[in-house]
Structure 1
Amino acid sequence: MIADHMMRLVHMENSGLVNMLLNDKHGDLGRMYNLFRRVPNGLAMIQDVMTSHLRETGKQLVTDAERLKDPVEYVQRLLDEKEKYDGIISLAFSNDKTFQNALNSSFEYFINLNSRSPEFISLFVDDKLRKGLKGVSEEDVEIILDKVMMIFRYLQEKDVFEKYYKQHLAKRLLSGKTVSDDAERSLIVKLKTAYGYQYTSKLEGMFTDMKTSQDTMQGFCSSYPELTDGTTLVVQVLTMGSWPTQPSITCHLPFEMSALCEKFQSYYLGTHTGRRLSWQTNMGTADIKAIFGKGQKHGLNVSTYQMCVLMLFNNADGLSYKEIEQVTAIPASDLKRCLQSMACVKGKNVLRKEPMSKDIGEEDSFFVNEKFASKFYKVKVGTVVAQKESEPEKQETRQRVEGDRKPQIEAAIVRIMKSRKVIDHNNIIAEVTKQLQSRFLANPMEIKKRIESLIEQEFLERDNSDRKI
């Protein structure tokens, strides 16, 4: 009797399975589950309809252009969807393993349809660990991080997430903007438990560097006690391999700062041998005192780039964009963002721009805004950040990720060959893919190229009689 009516019950217009799923009708879903499981293939039918509905809604979720504008909202919707279906499976389908597997494979399918998912998940974590959890207990932080880990497991490109996560963590640590060290470490422990020491070793190195830098600064200050008056300097010394540093982005620091930097450099290199220091001015911040119009004083908290620009106005009333670019040597994209945040953001406009507009043009001129006023003495002038990466930045990150993958693929090939000694072409591709899938989904074409490269370097050789071996 049940078998005869299954199709009609499942596909009914306004009360079928899809309608029950949409409206969270746990009671009806439970009754359907208990009825259908008495019939061979009854549960398979429910599962198929649920899977196709979930994949369809998930696909809309990750490809809808409107929703892609806000990464935090994007991830929140994924978490809500996951929670909804977890609830349905536990309350209506008595935690049936096959339904859980169907849910997992559906999520894995549609999350990876959008190549920006790893970046968005990292931005979501950044939002929560940066400022989003004020007044929220540590237990709640843990719950959110656990939910994020559930979604993270579905990512095929975990190494791409690592790249973005590293950048965001660096910004949080260097600007002192993290909600708590415990929450940061908790997430790293979760990643380490799930994906091993190798995945998080560099992230842990970042925390070690922050601690070591404090000790270095104490040593520096005690060696130069006279530096505690006037201009002061705090340096974080970061290990090259652990941090997402950009090679040799230099800007011309004001004389007061460059003299201090040289003192620190001679102190540091005097206490450590065989090391090189290169300044990452794009990652720093500065506090400067400013006097406006009618003697109004403010303390401005700015980025290093913004400080370099503002200090120019000690000796000039007005400067053109071209002049600022020439004197500071800040890369154009950063300079535009930095000027935009000081001249175009209401309440933070310490500079005045002519002609007035929202964007920075190469013909613009800048002046100190004598009418600047704020009810606070200390004013934080943030930098206008592109929350998501722009297309060229995205391409650059992609290239860096691809570059990092090559040695990992080669190492996997050599590991397999050392244990197998002889293997045919299809098997080695399958084994390399399997070994690396916890970090990323290796492209068979790329594996092929790496095998060719290893043959050229004489790590491997082809069999004389059969080219596939």
Structure 2
Amino acid sequence: MAAPRRGRPKIMVPRKHGPEIDIAKTWEELSKNIREIQNHNAANLSFEENHRYAYNMVLYKHGEILYNGVRTLVIENLDTLARDEIVPAFPTGMKDPNMQNDEEELLLKALRKVWDDHRSNMVRLGQILKYMDRTYIKPAGVPDTNDLGLQLFLSHIICSPIKEHLVSAILNQVRHERDGDVIHRSTVKGCVDVFLSLEVDRDGTTVYKRDLEPVFLKESQDFYEMEGERLLNSCDAPQFLRLAEERFEAEQSRTNHYLSSQTTQPLLQILKDRILTPHIDTVISKENSGLDVMIDNNKFDDLSRLFRLCRMMSKGMQVLQSALKRSIIRRGKAINHISLGDDLAEAEENEAKTKGKSNTRNTNLGIQPAITWVQDVLEVKDKFDLVWTTSFQNNREVEIALNDAFGTFVNLNEKCSEFISLFIDDHLKRGIKGKSELEVEAILDKTITIFRFISEKDVFERYYKGHLAKRLLYGRSVSDDAEHNMLTKLKVESGVQFTQKMEGMFNDMRISADTTKSYLEHVSKTTAPEIELNVTVMTSNAWPMASNSAACILPPQMDKACKSFEQFYHSKHSGRRLDWQLALGNADVHVRFKDKLHELNVSTMALVILLLFEHLGDDEKLAYIDIREATRIEDVELKRQLQSLACAKFKILLKYPASRNVDPEDTFTFNSNFSCSMRKIKVGTVSNKVENKEERKETRERVEEERRYQTDACIVRIMKDRKHMKHNDLITQVTAQLTSKFLPEPMVIKKRIEHLIEVSLFN
């Protein structure tokens, strides 16, 4: 047998032949009980009895009487509640803010009390009228009990003047809290929840959305327009940012806790439009507290706050990036003034020489301007990198702006390539002594950071090759590993071709060491020359100074040693030509003075000059003209060598008359009375220094000449590959390929194209 099915118990319909009910009496009993429910006296009522009353009225086709009767009873109760509970709670308009605040809270509490009372009553009525809601409502086309209760509450409670008082009370509570007063948020939330529960149309628009939110947003707009002006005029930049962020946090908290989350975005947009957007640029630029001051004083929290606020605005990041660029470029221009100051000093020195006067200002600062400039740039870079990582969350847009600004001011200094090369040269010669590998690596990484900003990398390449060549030839590099490490970094940044010739220099040094070793083994088996040679054979296209062969007449013993090596070298490499670069060599020579024998390290040409005094007496002099005739050294080089021997720290020769400069009328004697505590003495020539205007002009002309060749080669290479191209496309391609070394001007490319066309036509 199948088990009996269980379901909802059914109320059996009375038989038709049963007695008719008395509708009037039934409604009288039911209405009396409904009033008891509304008066909170439902404890002694019978739910089953009341349900049967409503059921019978619907069953016997008197649902309309029941529905309208219930509606009337609800209206009567709501009117009573409005009259007895809400209207007496209307604020009296007292001027005392505290009293007014209390009255507003009482009104909001009264509304919530009436709402809770009404909803409780409607729930109980809904339970009694379930059969009516299920059977009568839909055919009759009227709201069910719950919806009826909402509609009646809306029309009889949320109506003028009650609604106006409620909205005003809520706005006043918000105003009190914005002014710093403490309010009972739960009270406001209770009223707002009522507004959110009441829909005014079929689209779901609530009383909150229709009647409260627009007024609230308008009042907020007016408030924050005045607040923005107040903060701007009364606060410094950090205070403005802090208070502005507090306003944002407060409004978000307000909408989350007792308003509606749907109001959050339009409210925050008002804050952006009234506090941030019109004033953030002025705040950033405040003279004694703006962005520059915050960066200088490491106000990382304030900078983080600025970054967060700027990200909120549509164009906030653009404003921040522009401000950072201005700050960096301003600092960079101040650093670049070092270069300008050096040029002014040089001009003053030239003017003094022209007038025959002595300028006491020290213009021979060597490479110190370059070292100072690079160190200052690195300090600024470190400062902004720290701000970027600490306060700006490693934001990519900010990083691009920072790099763009650094590139701008670095390239404003026409000496930037030379300065960076001199900085590296100084550190690779002596600056890394006593430093660990990690410290050396950090120094090289920092210099590469600035190298990335250089737009004319071919100019840097020219300076770096010259400085590297001198380090290798004079043995001044203190670490081969550091040298190779630096080349590796340059190769990563600019490609293999950028370092190809530099690597060729290292290769020549390695081969030369093997060649010298073989030569010394060779001469040891024969009659060895008086002078022991250590020769570096430089490939002409790898070394930057290979084509500059300075003239000089060698003493017999030196000439004999050179010819001995030439004979050996040609026996190994037939068909090659050797040009001696005497200006690049150095020598160790034993010199006996009256008190002591010293071992001097001098340049090759300085040795040639010293040997002229070898057989002269102590009082015998050689005139400048005599030295020039005997050695055939050019004036510029001869003066430089004599200056190092007679005017520097170690005065091996004595000059008459005594002065810092060498003139054609001067005479020289050997300083036999020279004395020094050191046995080995390095008599250096004039060390590296920043180029003067004439030298810079010459370097620029050579660079421009090389650029013309590179541009021509690039054009030919592209046309061989493409065969046919439009003129503008060709210029674009050439520009793209040459940008890694320098920024070619379109007009220059156009002229080179025209030049190549002319050459091809004539050929």
The TM-score, its normalising length taken from structure 2, stands at: 0.58
**Residues 265-301 of structure 1: per-residue CA shift (max 9 Å, x gap):** 111111102111000001100011111134x211110
Tell me the SS of whatever aligns to 2:312: coil
- Report the counterpart of residue 60 of structure 1 in structure 2: 334
1:255/1:13 Cα in 2 relative to 1: closer, same or farther (>3 Å)?
same
Secondary structure (helix, strand or coil) at the match of 2:412 reads coil
1:96-125 C-alpha deviation (Å, 9 max, x unpaired) = 111100011111111111221111110000
AA at the equivalent of 1:30: S
SS at match of 1:439: coil
Counterpart for residue 338 of structure 1: 641
Partner of 2:710: 408
* Deviation of 1:159 (Å): 0.9
Checking the alignment, whether the CA contact within 8 Å between 1:2 and 1:36 is kept in structure 2 is: no
Structure 1 residues 32-57: Cα deviation after superposition (integer angstroms, max 9, x where no partner): 11223222222222221111121122
Q: Structure 2 CA distance, aligned partners of 1:301 and 1:326?
A: 24
Aligned residue number for residue 531 of structure 2: 231
**1:222-252: per-residue Cα shift (whole Å, max 9, x none)?**
2211455742111111100001124332211
How far apart in 2 are the matches of 1:23 and 1:332? 54
SS across alignment from 1:371: coil
Determine if contact 1:3/1:42 at 8 Å carries over to the other structure: no
For residues 26-425 of structure 1, the aligned pairs below 5 Å read 26-64=300-338, 65-66=340-341, 70-225=369-524, 226=526, 230-244=530-544, 245-294=546-595, 296-316=596-616, 317-346=620-649, 348-425=650-727
* CA spacing shift, 1:459–1:197, aligned 2, 3 Å: farther
Q: Distance between the aligned counterparts of 1:442 and 1:37, measured in 2?
A: 37
Q: 2:289 aligns with which of 3, 6, 15?
A: 15
Alpha-carbon distance in structure 2 between the residues aligned to 1:318 and 1:293: 18
Structure 1 contact 298–379 (Cα < 8 Å) conserved: yes
Which one is further off, 20-29 or 90-99? 20-29
Q: Which runs of 5+ in 2 are unaligned?
A: 1-270, 344-364
**Partner residue in 2 for 1:455:** 757
The 1:174/1:386 distance shift into structure 2, 3 A limit, reads: closer
Instruction: Give the conservation status (yes or no) of the 8 Å contact 1:349–1:369.
Output: yes
Distance 1:391 1:9 in 2: 43
Which residue type is aligned with residue 624 of structure 2? Answer: Y
Give distance in 2, aligned partners of 1:277 and 1:60: 49
Q: Distance in 2 between matches of 1:51 and 1:406?
A: 34
Shift, 1:138, TM fit: 1.6
User: Kindly tell me: are residues 206 and 459 of structure 1, through their superposed partners in 2, closer, same or farther at Cα, counting changes over 3 Å?
Assistant: farther
Q: Determine if contact 1:17/1:46 at 8 Å carries over to the other structure.
A: no
Q: Distance in 2 between matches of 1:399 and 1:9?
A: 47
CA distance in 1, matches of 2:274, 2:552: 77
**Counterpart secondary structure, 1:118:** helix
* Letter of the structure 2 residue corresponding to residue 188 of structure 1: L
Distance in 2 separating the partners of 1:227 and 1:14:
80
Write the letter of the residue equivalent to 2:302: D
Q: Say if 2:549 and 2:582, in contact at 8 Å, map to a contact too.
A: no
Shift of 1:459: 8.2
Q: Which amino acid aligns with 1:367?
A: T
CA contact (8 A) 2:653 2:669 kept: yes
- Aligned 8 A contact 2:529 2:561 in 1: no
The answer (yes or no) to whether the contact 1:292–1:370 under 8 Å persists in 2 is yes
Q: Partners in 2 of 1:341 and 1:99 — Cα distance?
A: 51
What is the rounded CA distance, in whole Å, between the counterparts of 1:122 and 1:95 in structure 2? 30
Deviates most, 71-80 or 412-421: 412-421
- Single out whichever of 98-107 and 241-250 deviates more from structure 2: 241-250
1:5 aligns with 2:275: yes
1:203 offset after TM fit, Å?
0.5
Shift of 1:214: 1.2
SS of match in other structure, 2:287? coil
Q: Does residue 1:433 correspond to 2:735, yes or no?
A: yes
Is the Cα–Cα contact under 8 Å of residues 328 and 405 in structure 2 kept in the other structure?
A: yes
Q: Which amino acid aligns with 2:759?
A: Q
Shift, 1:386, TM fit: 4.9
Secondary structure of the corresponding residue to residue 500 of structure 2: helix
Change (3 A) 1:331 1:444: farther
Between 1:411-420 and 1:63-72, the stretch displaced more is: 63-72
Which residue identity lines up with residue 522 of structure 2 in the other structure? S
Deviation at 1:126, TM superposition (A): 0.2
Q: 1:221·1:227 contact (CA, 8 Å) conserved in 2?
A: no
- Residue type of the partner of 1:417? M
- Aligned partners of 1:340, 1:251: CA distance in 2, in Å? 18
Classify the secondary structure of the residue corresponding to 1:37: helix
Task: Give the stretch that moved more between structures: 35-44 or 173-182.
Answer: 35-44
| Residues 387 and 227 of structure 1, relative CA distance in 2, 3 Å threshold | farther
Does 337-346 or 263-272 show the bigger shift? 337-346
Structure 1: gaps of 5 or more residues: 462-469
C-alpha deviation, 1:340, in angstroms: 1.1
SS in 2 for 1:278: coil
> Partners in 1 of 2:342 and 2:660 — Cα distance?
25
- Whether the 8 Å contact between 2:455 and 2:742 is mirrored in structure 1 is yes
- Does the 8 Å contact 1:337/1:385 carry over to 2? no
- Deviates most, 309-318 or 156-165: 309-318
Q: Secondary structure at the match of 2:540?
A: coil
Q: Structure 1 vs Structure 2: percent identity of aligned residues?
A: 43
Matched residue pairs, number? 459
Q: Is the radius of gyration larger for structure 1 or structure 2?
A: 2
The normalised TM-score by structure 1 is 0.94
- Verify the 8 A CA contact 2:591 2:599 in the aligned structure 1: yes
Aligned AA (1:298): H
Specify the code of the residue in structure 2 equivalent to 1:326.
Answer: E
How far the C-alpha of 1:337 sits from its partner, in A, is 1.5
Q: Which fold has the larger relative contact order, with Cα–Cα distance below 8 Å and residues 6 or more apart in sequence? A: 1
Counterparts of 2:690 and 2:742, CA distance in 1 = 22
